[in-house]
Chains A and B, each alone.
Chain A
Amino acid sequence: MITLLAKLLKALNAEAAPGQISAALCLAMFFAFMPMLTLQHVLLLLLVLVLRVNITGFILGWLIFSVLSFLLDPLFHRVGMAVLSADGLSGFWSLLYGSGFWHLTRFNNTIVMGGLIVSLVCVLPVYFGCNALIRRYRTHVMTWIEKTRIAQMVKGSRIYSVYKTVSGWRGAV
């Protein structure tokens, strides 16, 4: 049982390079900022599982960005409404609207469109910002955490030793 749990933890914590964690957070942002089930969510799930990104980072990011999404709902609605009612784009939207396939994306919903636009605008800043933060964290904060009593207790536990054996992990990268 412990081995199974350790293998799950290994899978979740694999691909732990800063770029892989940041990519997972960016995908989580797209996933959470469009708060309805759409075709994009299926594609995002496929990307999360198929691309070598950190899955724990994705789950954690999804939770954080979901809270943020709730708070930013009025912004998404306003942005989405502005884009969907832009005169220059009405022909394009009408073309998509006439097709059943594009309805699966729910592109005509204001918060889906708004969330997508905001995610697209934020993706590069979030990616590079997270990268920088993770590096700083590992250099400064991680070393300090490893010295705390709690970290010492976790490291002394059986599950941690099994996890180390299964993953071949020897410490922080």
Chain B
Amino acid sequence: MTRLIRWPGLVAFAVIVALVAGVWYIAVDYFIKFAVQSAGTKAVGARVELASADLSLFPLGLELSGLQVTNPKKPMRNAFVADRIRMNFHTGDLIRGKTVIEDMSVNGVGFDKPRETSGALPEKKPTAEEKAAEEQKSGSGFKLPSLSMESPREILEKENLATVEAAKTLQDDVASARQGFETRLENLPDKETFEKHRQRLKELRSGDKSGGLLGAAGKVKEVREVKEDIQADLAALRQAKKDLGQTRSDLQNRLADLKQAPTRDAARLAEKYSLSPKGIANASALVFGPKYAGWVETGLTWYQRLAPYAAGMARSGPEKEKRTRGEGVNVEFASGRSVPEYWIKTAKVSMAEGGMSGDIRDLSSDQAALGQPMKFAFSGSEAAESLKIQGRMDRTKPGSPEDVAEFEIQQYPLKGFSLLDRPDLSISMESARVKTATGDIRIAGKELAADIRAGLDSAGFAVSAEKADGFLAKALADALGDVSAFDLTARVRGSLQQPEIGLESGIDNALKAALKKTIDRQRAELETSLRQTISEQTKGQIQDVQGGFSGLDAIEQKLQQRLNVGTEVMPG
């Protein structure tokens, strides 16, 4: 036996095992902290930081302190913070490779909190897919009309005028017509031609009468032939005159139309550069839309980012098809109960401010295997008289996933609530109270449907514009100044990638009336100035076109003179 066994090896083994266990125990907290930070940063796309992690063995649990998740779009703000997260693991399942958390508590939760340092990651170039998604997104929000007032001269400097184009074309056509008729006139019978006819007739009448009856008959025939020639020449002249008249009439009509072109140009440009009444068809969207669209966009971004973790959307089936070298595939076997890779049975969450708390149940990586959807319910009565939100993310039937959330708020005060913050116009609700607000949101697959109804009172708005004479700001301030209570209905339809947002409010009509009056006046003023400026700019061209008609008149006179001569020569 001693020839086979090396007894000091047993001591060496014990020492190695103790050393490895000691190093692991010392380093595991740092390892967990690093793992949480790197996995979180990768998932969020901005820095995720953790103050400390503490793994305890008896009972097997983990405590994370000082979690900060940066908002990727605002790197100086944290989208989510938590003071302390404590979780207890199921030891048996952990050995089986399943992270099952029996209970979890998350305290000091906060949203949108300031950061001391930027949490942005080094910039990376967006992929083609990300660019396409961004372009798609840009069309989903509310687009506010331009509020800047440009002068007619500034507008005309960058716009092509239809008047100028039409004048140029007409001028060319008049010149071309004149050229055509002048050429035609050269080939038409003139005074000389008719003089020849006259001479021939004279000769026939005063010629030798000795030919007898036969001679007289021959002369009659010749006179008839001359008459026919004169008639043909007169017909050619009359046809030319008729054609000239027709062409002149057409060109005159176009000239008359050209004189109206500045008016049309002015109307078109006024439509383009002034705030059209169409732009305020939904006046409440003008005021509340940008904020609401921002919420929807932020909400959907976070939903799409976190849903794969919250509801196991990342998991395609019981077995991973793709594998990397050296990792293999873990084959699952039917055992007594099906346990997902991770499963938080209950998480109790309490907010740092506002007295809101609640719980999340059955957050797992495989709801179909678990047979339970993830459910959440929160409530609070500190910031508002009553605030409730509840819902579920259901992936128990992978073919028809459905996420639902409902909320109800009673008597919630608002203060200094910014609605629109643009360089040229800002609108804020200095104070208001949400009497009641209810909403339900449903996401089935990629289809989105959300309806929110809110009633507000004690509202006070503040409107300010960059320019002191901001006509729209003034109109809005006047209209909103009279509003103290209103209701608001918001809805979202469409898909996660292309949400269609709609807003309606009781203040629509009041806002629309006030804005329409101002906008109509501004538009009329702009149109008048544009018309005057365009008329001034195109006056010379139109006069040139008119001048071109004198050439046609001269041709007509010549044709008439020839006709007069021809008629005079024609025997009765």
Chain A contacts to B: CB under 8 angstroms: 15, 35-36, 42, 45-46, 48-52, 70, 73, 76-77, 80-81, 84-85, 90, 93-94, 97-98, 100-101, 103-104, 106, 108-112, 114
Contact = CB atoms under 8 A, between A and B. Distances in A.
B10 A81 contact: no
Given A49-B12, A52-B3, A97 B333 contact: yes
Secondary structure at the B interface, as helix, strand, loop or mixed, is: loop
Contacts of B92: 100
B12 A97 contact: no
A85 B334 CA distance: 12
Contacts of A103: 95-97
Contacts of A93: 331, 333
B331 A52 contact: no
B4 interface: yes
Contact of A52 (B6, B10, B328): B6
Contacts of B327: 36, 111
Given A49-B6, A51-B9, A111 B330 contact: no
Contacts of B186: none
A108 B331 contact: yes
Interface string B14-25: 001100000000
A103 B336 CA distance: 15
Interface of B: 3-7, 9-10, 12-13, 16-17, 92-93, 95-97, 323, 325-336
Given A77-B329, A110-B329, 11 more contacts: A36-B327, A46-B13, A49-B9, A51-B4, A52-B4, A93-B331, A100-B95, A103-B96, A108-B332, A110-B323, A111-B328
> Nearest 5 A-B pairs (CB), nearest first?
A111-B328, A49-B9, A97-B333, A98-B335, A100-B95
A169 to B, nearest CB: 18
11 contacts: A45-B16, A46-B10, A50-B9, A52-B5, A73-B325, A77-B329, A85-B331, A93-B333, A94-B334, A97-B332, A109-B329
B5 A98 contact: no
Given A46-B13, A50-B6, A100 B326 contact: no
Contacts of B334: 94
A94 B333 contact: yes
B10 to A, nearest CB: 5
A111 B336 contact: no
A101 B92 CA distance: 9
Contacts of B5: 50-52
Contacts of B336: 98
Contact of A104 (B6, B95, B326, B331): B95
Contacts of B326: 35, 70, 73, 111
A104 B326 CA distance: 18
A81 B331 contact: yes
B9 A77 contact: no
Contacts of A49: 6, 9-10, 12-13, 16
Given A77-B323, A77-B328, A111-B326, A50 B13 contact: yes
B6 A51 contact: yes
A112 B335 CA distance: 20
B327 to A, nearest CB: 7
A97 B335 contact: yes
Contacts of B96: 100, 103
Contacts of A90: 333
Which of B10, B332, B333 has most A Cβ within 10 Å? B333
B324 to A, nearest CB: 10
Contacts of A80: 328
A28 to B, nearest CB: 16
A45 B20 CA distance: 13
A99 B9 CA distance: 31
Contacts of A51: 4-6, 9
A75 to B, nearest CB: 12
A151 to B, nearest CB: 29
